[in-house]
Amino acid sequence: MTALFGTDGIRGRVGHSPVSPEDVLKIGWAAGTALKALGKGKQVVLGKDTRVSGYLFESLLQAGFIAAGVDTALTGPLPTPAIAHLTKTIRASAGVVISASHNPYYDNGIKFFQGDGHKFDDALEQEIEKQFDQPMRTASELGKATRIPDAAGRYIEFCKSTFPQTQSLSGCSLVVDCANGACYDLAPRVFRELGANVRVIANEPDGYNINQDCGTESTAALVEAVIKHKANAGIAFDGDGDRLVMVDEAGNILDGDGILFLLARHRQQTGALAGGVVGTIMSNYGFEKSLGRYGIDLCRTQVGDRHVLEELRSRGWCLGGEPSGHIVCFDKTTTGDGVVAALQVLNAMVSTDKALSLLTGDLDDYPQARANVTLSLDRVSLSSVVSGARVQQMVSEVESSLGADGRVVVRCSGTEPVVRVMVEGSDAALVTRYCRQIAAAVADE
Domain check: are 352 and 436 in the same one?
A: no
* Residue 69 domain-assigned (yes or no): yes
Q: Are residues 127 and 267 in the same domain?
A: no
Q: Look at residue 246 and tell me if it is in a domain.
A: yes
- Shared-domain flag, residues 259 and 222: yes
Measuring CA to CA, which residue among 244, 231, 116, 268 is closest to residue 179?
244
Contact 98, 105 (CB under 8 A): no
Together in a domain, 220 and 333: yes
> Would you name the residues annotated as active-site residues?
101
User: Residue 141: which H helix or E strand, with range?
Assistant: none
Looking at 333, 359, 385, which one is the last position of a domain?
359
Shared-domain flag, residues 122 and 261: no
Q: Percentages helix, strand, coil for the chain, rounded to the nearest 5? A: 40, 20, 40
Q: In this predicted structure, which of 1-10, 149-158, 311-320, 343-352 has the lowest mean pLDDT? A: 1-10
The CATH number assigned to the domain holding 422 equals 3.30.310.50
3-state secondary structure of 97: strand
Three-state DSSP at 276 gives coil
Q: One-letter amino acid identity for 227? A: I
Residues 324 and 178 in one domain: yes
pLDDT at 445 over 90: no
The tens digit of pLDDT for each residue in 425-437 reads 988 999 999 999 9
Using the predicted structure, report yes or no on whether residue 377 has a pLDDT greater than 80: no
**Could you tell me if 220 and 135 lie in one domain?**
no
- Say yes or no to pLDDT of 2 above 60: no
Q: 295: Cβ–Cβ under 8 A, 6 or more apart, which residues?
A: none
Q: What is the 3-state secondary structure (H, E, C) of 281-348?
A: CCCCHHHHHHHHHCCCCEEEECCCHHHHHHHHHHHCCCEEECCCCCEEECCCCCCCCHHHHHHHHHHH
Q: Regarding beta strands 319-321 and 277-280, do their DSSP bridges make them parallel or antiparallel, or are they unpaired?
A: parallel
Q: Which of 320, 336, 359 is the last residue of a domain?
A: 359
When mean pLDDT is compared across 208-217, 227-236, 314-323, 392-401, the lowest value belongs to 392-401
The residue from 307, 337, 359 where one domain ends is 359
Residues 181, 123: one domain? no
Identify whether residues 74 and 137 lie together within a single domain: yes
Torsion region of 409: left, alpha or beta (phi above 0 gives left; psi -120 to 50 gives alpha): beta
Nearest to 336 by CA among 175, 149, 124, 97: 97
Look at residues 81, 89, 145, 159 and name the one whose alpha carbon lies nearest to residue 113: 81
DSSP state of 265: H
Q: Is pLDDT at 390 greater than 60 in this prediction?
A: yes
**Does residue 249 share a domain with residue 185?**
yes
Domain-embedded: residue 405? yes
pLDDT in tens, 164-201: 999 999 999 999 999 999 999 999 999 999 999 999 99
Say if 3 falls within a structural domain. no
Q: Pick the residue with more confidence: 75 or 368?
A: 75
CA angle 299, 102, 427 (to 5 degrees): 55
pLDDT, tens digit (0-9, with 9 covering 90-100), for 112-171: 999 999 999 888 999 999 999 999 999 999 999 999 999 999 999 999 999 999 999 999
Percent pLDDT > 70 in the chain is 99
Residue 111 lies in a domain: yes
On whether both 402 and 262 belong to a single domain, the answer is no
Question: Is 60 exceeded by the pLDDT of residue 13?
Answer: yes
Domain tally for the chain? 3
In sequence order, which residues have a C-beta less than 8 Å from that of residue 316 and are 6 or more positions away?
Answer: 274, 275
Give the domain CATH number at 144. Answer: 3.40.120.10
Range of the domain at 96: 10-148
Closest by CA position to 177, among listed 105, 253, 107, 106: 253
- Within a domain: 189: yes
pLDDT at residue 139, as a whole number: 95
Mean pLDDT calculated for residue range 227-240: 98
Domain membership of residue 425 (yes or no) is yes
Does some domain include residue 155?
A: no
User: Are 26 and 99 within one domain?
Assistant: yes
pLDDT at 1: 41
The pTM for the full model equals: 0.92
- Give the pLDDT score at 404: 81
How do residues 47-66 score in pLDDT, each as one tens digit? 999 999 999 999 999 999 99
pLDDT at 379: 67
